[in-house]
Structure 1
Amino acid sequence: MENLKSFDELTFLDNFMFQCVLRNPRLCKHLIEKILQISVKELHYQEFEKTINLGLASKGIRLDVYVRDEQGRVYDIEMQCTQFPQKGLAKRSRFYQSMIDMELLEKGEKYENLNASYIIFICTFDPFGRNLPMYTFTHCCEEENTIKLKDGETRLFLNSKGSENARDPEIAAFLRYVDGKAAEGEFVRSLDQEVQFVKSLEKVRREYMILSDEIRRRQEEAMAKGMAQGMAKGQSAFVKRMLARGKSIQEIADGLGLSADEIRTLAEMEES
């Protein structure tokens, strides 16, 4: 079972605090502008920890920070503290992009109306091992890389371990902060002050406590379900051994204190 931090232990790297801090439009806007080197006049928040689930049979996603600017450009900003197996993070970003595109393109709308989108992963590790402060991916032609696809899709991965190679001093300070160093510079100090401000809000503290209780409840339910499944598998294996030895269903039922129908169900369970 996952050990949840107390509210006072939360840092900018924790998803809950990360989302709360970037609810401040001034800080979120400045971070986007510094990372992408673009100008943004105004941000419109779509949802905090937005969930996109396109169907009962499809896998859904939860986005940390999902915003749109006055030009319709969409930004998904994710704090990534867990390192995936090789290509895992790249595939995850691909899936996020596809889900966002599916939601953006309403039924019957033309493909050319797809919004420009930016998926930004802020990583506490070097995702590609080249010690770059930032890895930016857009589509270009392999035969002639000056030919750009220009489909409006950009995926970026920030590397907190590559701060010494960042040209922009504010980005370098931000990466050091994500890497656990002290807050330096006006912008990063503003982020850190926002963390402290959020911690002073009783409403947010209660929100985190409710969320933590819900997470614990789900973990306990999952653990209980797992134990029940494990017990059923054990009983199934025992029933099959007894049947193989010539015991009747009723004899096994009497021995285990179960009904004959329950023994039949256990006998029919498939091994996994």
Structure 2
Amino acid sequence: MTNTTKTIQELNLSDGFLFAKVMDDKEICRKVLEKILGISIREVSMPARQRTAAIPYEEKSMRFHAYDRKTVYNVEMECRNQEKAFLPKKARYYEESMDLDIISAGEYCGKLKKSFVIFICTFDPFSDGRHIYTFENRCREYPSLALGDEATKIFLNTKGTINDIDQEMQDLLSYMENTTDVFAAQAASPLVREIHKRVTEIKQNEDMADEYANYAVSFCESK
């Protein structure tokens, strides 16, 4: 996650602690998912999200689940460039895990929900310069034929160079690694400004500062 020399004021949204605290806000979570997916989401809940307290301080990723009535979302902030070769299998594992959370062995598979596995990466996972890579299952012999299993995997790249997203999405991805007052003030994205308001509240909250300090110290003591 973050370097032990960082203070809470120095954290970016790409740092696991801050990412988890911000995305714990259901309305922000909903709007971020809407922006990434380009769809309208009425409401989300997070009954099985991963809590910061359960994450080792040295981890460089933060994962959470979100649900609506017909869809399940798995979102992970991923900063481990050296492990990018394993991300496709990680996505496969998460997809299977989400399915098993919905139905038990032997249950009717028609109960499965539409699923999205989303990685927000601070590196280019496929080295093609894109900001977004979207995958779904299709017929190899007939590529226009989608399998229709309603399982989608999305990899976002904060360091993309191709003009493949709109300005608001570009602002959001850039903000992940430049979570500052200056950047938020000049960003064209209302979503970035809304997120930054929450970031500021977190960073100015004494209880949050204490929690973050304990979070960091617990790792140092375990080394």
Quick check: TM above 0.5?
Answer: yes
Secondary structure of the equivalent of 1:137? strand
| Stretches of structure 2 lacking an aligned partner (at least 5 in a row) | 53-60
- Distance in 2 (CA, whole Å) between partners of 1:34 and 1:86 is 24
Following superposition, the deviation at residue 123 of structure 1 comes to: 0.9
1:67 equivalent in alignment to 2:58: no
The structure with the larger Rg is: 1
Residues 127 and 157 in structure 1, CA contact (< 8 A), matched pair in contact too: yes
Instruction: Give the structure 2 partner of residue 35 of structure 1.
Output: 36
Instruction: Give the structure 2 partner of residue 174 of structure 1.
Output: 172
Residues 44 and 67 in structure 1, CA contact (< 8 A), matched pair in contact too: yes
Secondary structure of the equivalent of 1:46? coil
Aligned residue pairs, count: 207
Secondary structure of the equivalent of 1:147? coil
Instruction: Give the structure 2 partner of residue 89 of structure 1.
Output: 87
Following superposition, the deviation at residue 84 of structure 1 comes to: 3.3
Instruction: Give the structure 2 partner of residue 55 of structure 1.
Output: none
Instruction: Give the structure 2 partner of residue 197 of structure 1.
Output: 201
Instruction: Give the structure 2 partner of residue 17 of structure 1.
Output: 18
Secondary structure of the equivalent of 2:137? coil
Amino acid at match of 1:73: T
State the TM-score, normalizing by the size of structure 2: 0.83
Following superposition, the deviation at residue 163 of structure 1 comes to: 5.8
Give CA deviations for 1:169-192 in whole Å, capped at 9, x if unaligned.
211111222243823121112222
Following superposition, the deviation at residue 164 of structure 1 comes to: 5.2
Amino acid at match of 2:198: E
Secondary structure of the equivalent of 1:47? coil
- Distance in 2 (CA, whole Å) between partners of 1:179 and 1:143 is 41
State the TM-score, normalizing by the size of structure 1: 0.69
- Distance in 2 (CA, whole Å) between partners of 1:72 and 1:32 is 14
**Taking structure 1 as reference, are residues 204 and 27 closer, same or farther at Cα in structure 2, changes over 3 Å only?**
same
Give the stretch that moved more between structures: 209-218 or 130-139: 209-218
Following superposition, the deviation at residue 212 of structure 1 comes to: 2.4
Return the match for 2:163 from 162, 165, 189: 165
**Taking structure 1 as reference, are residues 84 and 46 closer, same or farther at Cα in structure 2, changes over 3 Å only?**
farther
**Taking structure 1 as reference, are residues 213 and 92 closer, same or farther at Cα in structure 2, changes over 3 Å only?**
same
Following superposition, the deviation at residue 106 of structure 1 comes to: 2.3
- Distance in 2 (CA, whole Å) between partners of 1:142 and 1:204 is 50
- Distance in 1 (CA, whole Å) between partners of 2:36 and 2:109 is 27
RMSD: 2.3
**Taking structure 1 as reference, are residues 147 and 34 closer, same or farther at Cα in structure 2, changes over 3 Å only?**
same
| Stretches of structure 1 lacking an aligned partner (at least 5 in a row) | 52-61, 221-272
Secondary structure of the equivalent of 2:73? strand
- Distance in 2 (CA, whole Å) between partners of 1:98 and 1:87 is 19
Give the structure, 1 or 2, with the largest relative contact order (CA under 8 Å, sep 6 or more): 2
Amino acid at match of 2:44: L
